[in-house]
Amino acid sequence: MSGNLSFEALSRAVADGEIDTVIACFADMQGRLMGKRFHARHFVDSAWQQTHCCNYLLATDMEMYTVPGYAATSWAKGYGDHVMKPDLATLRRIPWLEGTALVLCDLLDHHTHEEVAHSPRAVLKRQVARLEGLGYRAMIATELEFFLFEPSFEALRDGGYRDLKPISGYNEDYHIFQTTKEEGVMRAIRNGLYGAGIPVENSKGEAETGQEEINIRYDAALTTADNHAVVKNACKEIAWAQGRAVTFMAKWHHDKVGSSSHVHQSLFTLDGTAAFPDPDGPHGMSQVMRRFTAGQLAHAPEICYFLAPYVNSYKRFQSGTFAPTSTVWSRDNRTAGFRMCGEGTKALRMECRVGGADLNPYLAAAALIAAGIAGIEAELELEPEMSGDAYSADPARALPRSLRDAADRLESSEMLRAAMGDWVVDHYTRAARWEVEEHERVVTDWEIARGFERA
């Protein structure tokens, strides 16, 4: 697991007055941390066992609106409680918040104390268990991109999110001088995360004005998802504390490149042996790697919602922007949806480039694992690699072009229904459909500017 603070060490820190606050939280459907701040003494005395939250927290949209149409909860059902069960293995110090520790929780049904099936952490844990039943563990790393802006969140909100000013004036991909100007925020993020027990590798400028990337060392799928959720929250909190703002939107401006969350994946056997490399296989790929990848290619349209969960997400899929548009694989080729990395080394892995920075890491990892398992179980053969410019690939291999399309693919996916259960698929299909309904209801700035006078 991903914590760096034992319960015994927490108890001592509370007794010594070092820690006075414990945040108990979980990732909601959008991947945001939701929960409570406990006085540390009360947490140590009793709340470490469990606490409660309203079950509507897994049935709201980005605005925290109580969305109708969910089977799990509704006004008619009275919006009852879920149990928040702290996973003490995730307990950690939060250096950028004074006297504070944080623990991630599993959500349990209040009456049965079974895990809530549609809670993101539970969705991933089920796929991890399925994969272990086949004799493998998924090791995953997520590269997380975001934009850093000069003004604060409050200033941007008060200004109606117009005239947004990124922190740099030019493309800063790998640019040392420009990123030096941003070190006040980025150094605080790296050191803060490291102090929270998250194995930061590096940060760098990305391929746009004001765009950043933070990289965390690969780990077991659940630990990586836990780390990812904390990283996103940390970037926002640390930037806010310095009067800056960040966004993890997949596409914040139509003239700018999008922000991704590339997911690097490999499998290990339960005894810790790397299962992807095979020096005698094609391109050094083992049979299980080929089948795992073939499953993800075959089911990419069905799992796309879990990699691109909003209307805005699909505006990132544009040719010539390093975001993919098709479900093809290639060797060390950044135009493909799936890119083989580390050929000829023990770090051989497959990078899924479909996901945006707005994805929920638990759901994205779960969907990718489920698709990979389907490939292993069906003994799918991996198609030949795509070489050259994948933007010119067969249009039939295109990713879904809209959230509506992705919702249709999700709802009709027999693979996901078998892997995750009808309850989970129906729950997230409703979430997707609500986003579409809200988008179709709202009049946008683009429509007003285009038609106010000329229509």
pLDDT digits (tens, 9 = 90+) for 119-156: 999 999 999 999 999 999 999 999 999 999 999 999 99
Inside any domain, residue 57:
yes
d(CA 390, CA 50): 50
Whether residue 65 is found in the same domain as residue 136 = no
Residue 74 has pLDDT above 70, yes or no: yes
Q: Are strands 100-109 and 21-27 parallel, antiparallel or unpaired?
A: parallel
d(CA 32, CA 54): 15
**401 membership: H or E segment, kind and range:** none
Find the range with the poorest average confidence among 266-280, 311-325, 354-368.
Answer: 311-325
Inside any domain, residue 1:
no
Closest by CA position to 82, among listed 51, 60, 104: 51
Single-letter code of the amino acid located at 87: D
Domains in the chain, number: 2
Q: Are strands 200-205 and 136-149 parallel, antiparallel or unpaired?
A: unpaired
Whether residue 164 is found in the same domain as residue 22 = no
| Mean of all residue pLDDT scores within the chain | 94
Using CB atoms within 10 Å of the CB of residue 324, give its burial: 0 to 12 exposed, 13 to 18 middle, 19+ buried.
buried
Whether residue 390 is found in the same domain as residue 428 = yes
pLDDT tens-digit series, residues 196-246: 999 999 999 998 999 999 999 999 999 999 999 999 999 999 999 999 999
Give start and end residues of each alpha helix (H) in 68-182: 120-133, 153-158, 176-180
Neighbours of 155 (CB within 10 A): 13
Inside any domain, residue 451:
no
pLDDT of residue 397: 82
Whether residue 271 is found in the same domain as residue 158 = yes
Average pLDDT over residues 350-363: 97
Pair 358, 285: CB distance under 8 Å: no
pTM of the model: 0.96
% of the chain exceeding 90 in pLDDT? 85
DSSP 8-state code for residue 159: T
Inside any domain, residue 27:
yes
Which one of 116, 141, 165 terminates a domain? Answer: 116
pLDDT tens-digit series, residues 376-397: 999 999 999 888 887 887 777 8
Which position has the higher pLDDT, 77 or 26? 26
Find the range with the poorest average confidence among 42-56, 88-102, 168-182.
Answer: 168-182
Which one of 116, 144, 172 terminates a domain? Answer: 116
pLDDT of residue 393: 77
Whether residue 316 is found in the same domain as residue 193 = yes
d(CA 288, CA 281): 11
Whether residue 98 is found in the same domain as residue 151 = no
Find the range with the poorest average confidence among 188-192, 300-304, 331-335, 380-384.
Answer: 331-335
Whether residue 140 is found in the same domain as residue 263 = yes
d(CA 356, CA 386): 22
Which one of 92, 116, 140 terminates a domain? Answer: 116
Using CB atoms within 10 Å of the CB of residue 379, give its burial: 0 to 12 exposed, 13 to 18 middle, 19+ buried.
exposed
User: The CATH number of the domain where 346 resides is what?
Assistant: 3.30.590.10
Whether residue 138 is found in the same domain as residue 183 = yes
pLDDT of residue 319: 85
Whether residue 279 is found in the same domain as residue 414 = yes
DSSP 8-state code for residue 173: T
pLDDT tens-digit series, residues 407-447: 999 999 999 999 999 999 999 999 999 999 999 999 999 99
Q: Is 326 left (phi over 0), alpha (psi -120 to 50) or beta?
A: beta
Whether residue 221 is found in the same domain as residue 317 = yes
Inside any domain, residue 122:
no
Residue 346 has pLDDT above 90, yes or no: no
Residue 350 has pLDDT above 60, yes or no: yes
pLDDT of residue 1: 53
Residues sharing a CB contact under 8 Å with residue 274, sequence separation 6 or more, in sequence order? 266, 267, 268, 346, 348
Average pLDDT over residues 310-317: 95
Whether residue 327 is found in the same domain as residue 371 = yes
Provide, for the chain, the percentages of residues in helix, strand and coil under a 3-state DSSP scheme, each rounded to the nearest 5: 40, 20, 40
Which position has the higher pLDDT, 264 or 77? 264
Inside any domain, residue 134:
yes
Whether residue 207 is found in the same domain as residue 300 = yes
d(CA 256, CA 246): 15
Average pLDDT over residues 6-35: 97
The encoded tokens of residue 392 equal: 């010119």
% of the chain exceeding 70 in pLDDT? 100
Residues sharing a CB contact under 8 Å with residue 305, sequence separation 6 or more, in sequence order? 403, 406, 407, 409, 410, 428, 432
Inside any domain, residue 2:
no
Give start and end residues of each alpha helix (H) in 120-220: 120-133, 153-158, 176-180, 183-195
d(CA 33, CA 416): 25
Inside any domain, residue 402:
yes
pLDDT of residue 332: 81
Neighbours of 63 (CB within 10 A): 7
Neighbours of 31 (CB within 10 A): 22
Give start and end residues of each alpha helix (H) in 308-421: 361-377, 403-411, 414-420
The domain of 105 spans 7-116
User: The CATH number of the domain where 95 resides is what?
Assistant: 3.10.20.70
